[in-house]
Amino acid sequence: MPNRSHRNAGHRTMNRLRRDGIAHASERASDAPTRTVHCVLPGIDCVDLLGRLPDASVQLIVCDPPYNLKLAGWDDRSDYVEWAAAWLGECVRVLRPTGSLALFGGLQFQDEAVGGDLHTLLHHVRTTLPLRLVNLIVWHYRNGMSAHRFFANRHEEIAWFAKTRRYTFNLDAVRERYAPDVERAYLRDKRLNPDSVRLGKNPTNVWEIPRLNANAKERVGHPTQKPIALVTRLVRALSNPGDVVLDFFAGSGVTAVTAMREGRHSISGDLDRALTDRLARLREHAAGDDAIAAPVDVTAAIDDVPLD
Ligand SMILES: C[S@@+](CC[C@H](N)C(=O)[O-])C[C@H]1O[C@@H](n2cnc3c(N)ncnc32)[C@H](O)[C@@H]1O
Ligand 1 centroid – CA 251 distance (Å): 5
- The share of the chain scoring above pLDDT 70, in percent, equals 82
CB of 226 closer than 8 Å to CB of 159: no
47 CB less than 6 Å from ligand 1? no
Report how far apart, in Å, the C-alpha atoms of 139 and of each of 129, 207, 301 are: 25, 5, 34
Ligand 1 centroid – CA 172 distance (Å): 31
- The share of the chain scoring above pLDDT 90, in percent, equals 73
Q: Is the dihedral of CA 169, 172, 173, 179 positive or negative?
A: positive
Per the prediction, the chain carries an average pLDDT of 88
90 CB less than 6 Å from ligand 1? no
Residue 31 φ then ψ, to 5° = -75, 150
Q: How many CB atoms lie within 10 A of CB 27?
A: 15
Closest-CA residue to 308 (of 263, 246, 254): 246
- pLDDT bin (cut points 50, 70, 90) of residue 191 is very high
Between strands 155-162 and 58-63, the pairing is unpaired
64 CB less than 6 Å from ligand 1? yes
Domains of the chain are: 34-304 (3.40.50.150)
Whether 302 has a pLDDT exceeding 50, the answer reads yes
Mean pLDDT value of segment 173-194: 96
What is the structure's pLDDT at 75?
Answer: 62
Whether 285 has a pLDDT exceeding 70, the answer reads yes
Helix, strand, or coil (residue 110): coil
Q: How many CB atoms lie within 10 A of CB 6?
A: 8
Atom of ligand 1 nearest to the CA of 83: 19
Ligand 1 centroid – CA 174 distance (Å): 27
Ligand 1 centroid – CA 109 distance (Å): 17
The 10s digit of each residue's pLDDT in 15-58 is 444 444 344 444 445 578 989 999 999 999 999 999 999 999 99
- Top mean pLDDT of 97-101, 152-156, 285-289 is at 97-101
What is the structure's pLDDT at 114?
Answer: 56
Atom of ligand 1 nearest to the CA of 247: 6
CB of 61 closer than 8 Å to CB of 18: no
Ligand 1 centroid – CA 271 distance (Å): 7
Closest-CA residue to 61 (of 98, 32, 103, 31): 103
Atom of ligand 1 nearest to the CA of 62: 6
The 10s digit of each residue's pLDDT in 221-232 is 999 999 999 999
- For ligand 1, atom 13, name the residue with the nearest CA: 249
160 CB less than 6 Å from ligand 1? no
Ligand 1 centroid – CA 65 distance (Å): 6
Closest-CA residue to 243 (of 296, 307, 173): 307
Whether 113 has a pLDDT exceeding 70, the answer reads no
116 CB less than 6 Å from ligand 1? no
Whether 263 has a pLDDT exceeding 80, the answer reads yes
Among 271, 275, 283, residue to substitute to test ligand 1 (most atoms within 8 Å of Cβ): 271
What is the structure's pLDDT at 119?
Answer: 86
Ligand 1 centroid – CA 272 distance (Å): 8
What is the structure's pLDDT at 275?
Answer: 98
**What long-range pairs does 206-212 form, CB within 8 A, spacing at least 24?**
206/137, 206/138, 206/140, 207/137, 207/138, 207/139, 207/140, 207/233, 208/140, 208/141, 208/142, 209/139, 209/140, 209/141, 209/233, 210/141, 210/142, 210/143, 211/141, 211/143, 211/144
240 CB less than 6 Å from ligand 1? no
What is the structure's pLDDT at 205?
Answer: 98
283 CB less than 6 Å from ligand 1? no
What is the structure's pLDDT at 10?
Answer: 41
